[in-house]
């Protein structure tokens, strides 16, 4: 007797079940049910500590579901660290925080070898793992440490491993780097190199709250003790969600739109808009289009949809492109910002 099992079948705009005999299909259905039931629970749990910032929260969740790293930009005191820590608690992930400073060394992040004596008096070299061996690593004020130390994150972010004294150490999955940077007090800071910026899926901007939300924050933080956040997902759940996100279908026209949007940001190319040639020194690379599509898949799944739309790509254009487009002095003299240029790109590049 063959046991019948459920399998996910994607159609435009919906998900249906058909019979199957694969146990892997059962796992996919359980993961899908977990995402469906977890959407509102995630927001409810985060609301215990975080007021407002709905767009930033959504972008962080999308990056986690897609398996990408995030750069978080915002002024001091806007709860960047609290937001990251709260998300780690919701997903029941091991959390580590590194305060980046000018004297931080690469070994302070990855770990170091020490000479240790065992109970029999024998001496041996032992590798002591650094704080990077976590599921969620908060790199606080990453632009305050020298490039040599910033570069220590590159291998870990790209390869999910670190190498110390010629030995390769694999990081536990899932692994995310959520780095914050302060846009003010630029003295004594080291701007991140473009190669490292490109490894961040999103640049999430956290801005000041509206007055009513600020009143709610002040009232809450000066009275009762915040409620305890209850975990919803495990690390294994997140890995299954990563696999499911990649199975969400996307039409060729939508992929082509993402590619055209990224390509249009590159100056001195065929078909590049005139304002890009005038105001942009360097545009987005191939990885931008990849993250637009992958982020679109995660956004669709998080919204309960089984297809990626042009609106998904457009909604993620700002967090994907704002740290990949380098404006020149002419743009600054004309009062143009990266956000203005992205808005003009969305107006100029058509989805047909």
The span from the first CA to the last CA of the chain, in angstroms, equals 51
Report pLDDT for 250. Answer: 93
Strands across the sheet with 200-206, in order? Answer: 95-99, 136-140, 176-181, 69-74, 200-206
Rg, the chain, Cα only = 22
Instruction: With beta carbons less than 8 A apart as the criterion, state whether 282 and 327 touch.
Output: no
Report pLDDT for 13. Answer: 44
DSSP single-letter state for residue 52: S
- 63-89 burial string, b = 16+ CB within 10 Å, else e? bbbbbbbbbbbbeeebbbbebbbbbbb
* Distance (Å) of CA 88 to CA 57, 108, 162, 220, 231: 12, 22, 22, 21, 9
Strand 280-282, strand 326-327: pairing: antiparallel
Instruction: With beta carbons less than 8 A apart as the criterion, state whether 110 and 130 touch.
Output: yes
Domains of the chain, CATH where assigned = 52-233 (3.40.50.300), 246-348 (1.10.8.80)
Per-residue pLDDT of the chain (352 residues; tens, 9 = 90+): 444 433 444 443 444 444 444 555 667 777 777 777 777 788 888 888 888 778 888 999 899 999 999 999 887 777 788 888 888 888 888 889 998 888 888 888 888 888 777 777 778 877 888 899 999 999 888 888 888 888 878 778 888 888 877 788 889 889 999 988 877 655 557 778 777 788 899 999 888 888 888 888 888 878 777 778 888 888 888 888 898 899 899 999 999 999 999 999 999 888 889 999 999 999 999 999 999 999 999 999 888 888 899 999 999 999 999 999 999 999 999 999 999 999 999 999 987 6
Three-state secondary-structure class, residue 92: coil
Separation of alpha carbons 13 and 261, rounded Å:
24
**DSSP symbols for 152-183:** HHHHHHHHSEEEETTEEEEPPSS-EEEEEE-S
Report pLDDT for 142. Answer: 87
* Element (DSSP H or E) covering residue 281: strand 280-282
pTM of the model: 0.85
Report pLDDT for 12. Answer: 38
Provide the H-helix boundaries in 282-328: 286-302, 310-315, 317-321
């Amino acid at each position: 007797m063959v046991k019948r099992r459920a399998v996910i079948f994607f159609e435009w705009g919906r998900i249906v079940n058909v019979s199957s005999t694969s146990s892997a299909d059962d796992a996919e259905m359980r993961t899908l049910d977990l995402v469906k039931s977890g959407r509102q629970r995630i927001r409810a749990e985060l609301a215990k500590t975080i007021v407002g910032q709905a767009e930033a929260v959504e972008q962080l969740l999308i990056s986690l579901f897609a398996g990408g790293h995030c750069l978080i930009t915002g002024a001091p005191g806007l709860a960047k660290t609290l937001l990251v820590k709260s998300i780690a608690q919701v997903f029941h992930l091991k959390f580590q925080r590194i305060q980046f400073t000018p004297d931080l060394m690469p070994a302070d992040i990855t770990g170091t070898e020490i000479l240790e004596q065992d109970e029999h008096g024998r001496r041996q070299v032992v590798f002591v793992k650094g704080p990077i061996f976590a599921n969620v690593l908060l790199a606080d004020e990453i632009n305050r440490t020298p490039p040599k130390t910033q570069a220590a994150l590159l291998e870990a972010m790209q390869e999910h491993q670190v190498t110390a004294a010629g030995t390769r150490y694999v990081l536990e999955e899932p692994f995310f780097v959520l780095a914050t940077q302060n846009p003010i007090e630029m003295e004594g800071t080291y701007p991140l190199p473009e190669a490292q910026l490109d490894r961040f899926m999103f640049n999430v901007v956290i801005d000041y709250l509206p007055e009513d939300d600020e009143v709610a924050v002040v009232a809450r933080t000066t009275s009762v003790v915040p409620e305890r956040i209850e975990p919803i997902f495990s690390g294994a759940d997140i890995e299954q969600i990563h696999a499911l996100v990649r199975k969400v279908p996307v039409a060729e026209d939508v992929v082509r739109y993402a590619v055209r949007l990224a390509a249009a940001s590159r100056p001195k190319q065929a078909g590049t808009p005139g304002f890009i040639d005038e105001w942009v020194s360097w545009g987005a690379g191939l990885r931008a289009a990849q993250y637009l599509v992958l982020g679109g898949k995660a956004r669709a799944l998080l919204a309960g949809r089984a297809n990626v739309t042009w609106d998904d790509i457009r909604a993620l254009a700002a967090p994907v492109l704002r740290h990949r487009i380098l404006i020149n002095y002419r743009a600054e003299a004309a009062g143009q910002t990266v956000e203005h240029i992205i808005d003009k790109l969305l107006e100029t590049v058509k989805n047909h």
